[in-house]
């Protein structure tokens, strides 16, 4: 499969501060990649370099086979960049705004009108096309921004925190649009803080922290990690205190969280025999178990584990 994005040994320094420290990754054409990292991890810098808005200190970034520093104009024709925030122009309506960007992309006459109709239909902006930009809700603004990004029909979409600040309904709508774009064969590069959302939308995830890549692979492989640990939620009748005391005394069991009538426990093995053994021991110790449920590992936990591991190695 041809590569839509190729990043090799990318470094970006601002004075003495190294925002991106030699990262490398590839995105095949048509893939949806989630880009995860804390604030200041180097996400936006990487995305801005990909969008030809910043120059790398060293390393190469190739978009659709073109180097971003050697052929910035060519690269711009292949990408659509949706920044994390954008302001609303006063005295400009939704249709004026889209019309301006369509003209700016060189669309003229009938082609422009056709493209605008397609975009308005796709992003469902028809009802608010005569509304001024300054009175749009966050969800409407994001749909407008996505519409603007799609006007030039780019093959590769770089979306920086597209779902930030959206209410649940707008978020569902946005996810639907992303799914449609992925189905139409576009390559999507999406950064977000909301891990569960990325898990639903993306084929692969790229974790970045302190300018370095910590993980590049599927959400499943990240959740699995390199351990075989399992999380179980045990609900008890009455206080969870006896369960917590038992867990602290038992080998291979660790308390993750305690709630009003339950505990989340981390078992050091996912082997069925080991799990059955621990359950038997728990009941045998007098814990009044009413529910014992094995959990899928959450992406947030996997993320925290990866970070903890890296910080442990660092110290």
Partner 1 sequence: MALRRGTLSDLLSPILVKELRQGVRGNVFTGAFLLLQGLMVLTMCVMLMEPSSSQGIAWMFWALLIVAVGVLIPLSGIQAVSSENGLKALEPMLLTKLTARNIVFGKWASLAVQNLVLLVSIAPYFLLRYFLGGLQFTQEFWQVSALIVCAAVVTAITVGLSAFSISVFFRVLLCIPLTNVAALIIGLFATQWSNIGTVTMAAPALAMVMGAFTMLVMLEAGAWQIAPLADRSFAIARAASLLLLLILSLVLGGLHKNVQALVVFWAGGLILLVIVAALCEPQSMIPSAYSRYFGRGFLRRVAGLFLAPGWGSGVLFAIVASVSACFALRSALPELTSPVVLVSTVAQVLLPLVLIPYITFPRLKRAAWYLVIQVASFSAGTIALVGNGIESETLTHAAAWLVPLSPTMGMAIEMDQPELTPLAVDTLSVIVAGAIVVLTVAQASGVLSRTMKMVSRRPYAAPAAATAPAAATPEPADERVANL
122 binds partner 1 per the rule CB under 8 A: no
CB of 215 to partner 1, least distance (A): 22
Copy the structure tokens of residue 59: 């390393």
Interface region with partner 1, contact rule CB under 8 A, candidates 96-104, 200-208, 266-274, 286-294: 96-104
106 binds partner 1 per the rule CB under 8 A: yes
The number of helices, as runs of H, and strands, as runs of E, in the chain is 11, 14
30 binds partner 1 per the rule CB under 8 A: no
Q: Which of 41, 46, 99, 297 binds partner 1 (CB under 8 A)?
A: 99
Q: Which of 30, 38, 71, 275 binds partner 1 (CB under 8 A)?
A: 71
Nearer to partner 1 by Cβ, of 86 and 280: the residue is 86
Q: Interface mask (CB under 8 A) for partner 1, residues 49-68, using x and -?
A: --xxx-xxxxxx-x-xxxx-
Give the total of residues touching partner 1 (CB under 8 A): 63
6 binds partner 1 per the rule CB under 8 A: yes
CB of 302 to partner 1, least distance (A): 30
Q: Are 38 and 211 in contact (CB under 8 A)?
A: no
Within positions 7 to 26, which residues make up the interface with partner 1, using CB under 8 A?
A: 8-9, 11, 13
Half-sphere exposure (Cβ direction) of 59: Cα atoms closer than 13 Å: 22
Q: Are 252 and 282 in contact (CB under 8 A)?
A: no
Nearer to partner 1 by Cβ, of 87 and 312: the residue is 87
Q: What whole-number distance in Å separates Cα of residue 86 and Cα of residue 122? A: 21
| H-helix or E-strand spanning residue 234 | strand 230-236
Q: Is 271 helix (H, G, I), strand (E, B) or coil?
A: coil
Strand partners of residue 209: 212
Annotate 149-164 with b (16+ C-beta within 10 A) or e (fewer): bbbbebbbbbbbbbbe
Q: What whole-number distance in Å separates Cα of residue 99 and Cα of residue 242? A: 67
**Strand 253-258 relative to strand 262-267: parallel, antiparallel, unpaired?**
antiparallel
Nearer to partner 1 by Cβ, of 55 and 296: the residue is 55
Give the chain's end-to-end CA distance (angstroms, integer).
40
From 10, 149, 150, select the one nearest 67 (Cα to Cα): 10
CB of 279 to partner 1, least distance (A): 53
Nearer to partner 1 by Cβ, of 1 and 249: the residue is 1
Nearer to partner 1 by Cβ, of 61 and 205: the residue is 61
Half-sphere exposure (Cβ direction) of 177: Cα atoms closer than 13 Å: 28
Contacts of residue 85, defined as CB under 8 A and 6 or more positions apart, other chains included, come to none
Nearer to partner 1 by Cβ, of 11 and 310: the residue is 11
Nearer to partner 1 by Cβ, of 152 and 230: the residue is 152
Q: What angle do CA 98, 100, 103 make, to 5 degrees?
A: 110
90 binds partner 1 per the rule CB under 8 A: yes
Within positions 129 to 188, which residues make up the interface with partner 1, using CB under 8 A?
A: 129-130, 148, 152
Residues that bind partner 1 (CB under 8 A): 2-4, 6, 8-9, 11, 13, 29, 51-53, 55-60, 62, 64-67, 69-74, 76, 79, 81, 83, 85-92, 95-96, 99-101, 103-106, 108-109, 112-113, 116-117, 120, 125-126, 129-130, 148, 152
């Amino acid at each position: 499969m041809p590569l839509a994005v190729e990043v090799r040994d990318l470094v970006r320094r601002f004075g003495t501060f190294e925002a991106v420290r030699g990262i490398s990754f590839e995105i095949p054409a048509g893939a949806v990649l989630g880009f995860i990292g804390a604030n200041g991890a180097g996400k936006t810098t990487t995305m801005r370099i990909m969008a030809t808005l910043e120059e790398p200190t060293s390393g190469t970034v190739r978009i659709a086979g073109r180097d971003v520093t050697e052929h910035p104009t060519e690269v711009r024709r292949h990408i659509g960049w949706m920044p994390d925030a954008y302001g609303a122009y006063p005295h400009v309506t939704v249709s004026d705004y889209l019309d301006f960007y369509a003209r700016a992309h060189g669309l003229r006459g009938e082609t422009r009108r056709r493209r605008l109709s397609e975009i308005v239909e796709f992003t469902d902006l028809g009802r608010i096309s005569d509304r001024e930009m300054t009175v749009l809700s966050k969800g409407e603004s994001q749909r407008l921004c996505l519409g603007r990004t799609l006007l030039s029909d780019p093959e590769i979409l770089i979306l920086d925190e597209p779902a930030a600040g959206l209410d649940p309904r707008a978020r569902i709508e946005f996810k639907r649009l992303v799914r449609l774009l992925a189905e139409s064969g576009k390559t999507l590069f999406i950064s977000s803080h909301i891990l569960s959302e990325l898990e639903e939308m993306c084929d692969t995830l790229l974790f970045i922290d302190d300018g370095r890549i910590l993980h590049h692979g599927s959400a499943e492989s990240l959740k699995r990690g390199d351990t075989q640990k399992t999380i179980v939620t045990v609900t008890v009748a009455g206080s969870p205190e006896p369960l917590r005391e038992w867990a602290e005394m038992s080998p291979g069991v660790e308390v993750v969280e305690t709630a009003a009538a339950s505990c989340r426990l981390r078992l050091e093995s996912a082997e069925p025999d080991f799990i059955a053994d621990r359950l038997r021991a728990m009941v045998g110790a007098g814990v009044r178990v009413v529910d014992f449920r094995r959990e899928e590992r959450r992406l947030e936990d996997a993320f925290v584990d990866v970070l903890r591991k890296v910080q442990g190695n660092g110290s």
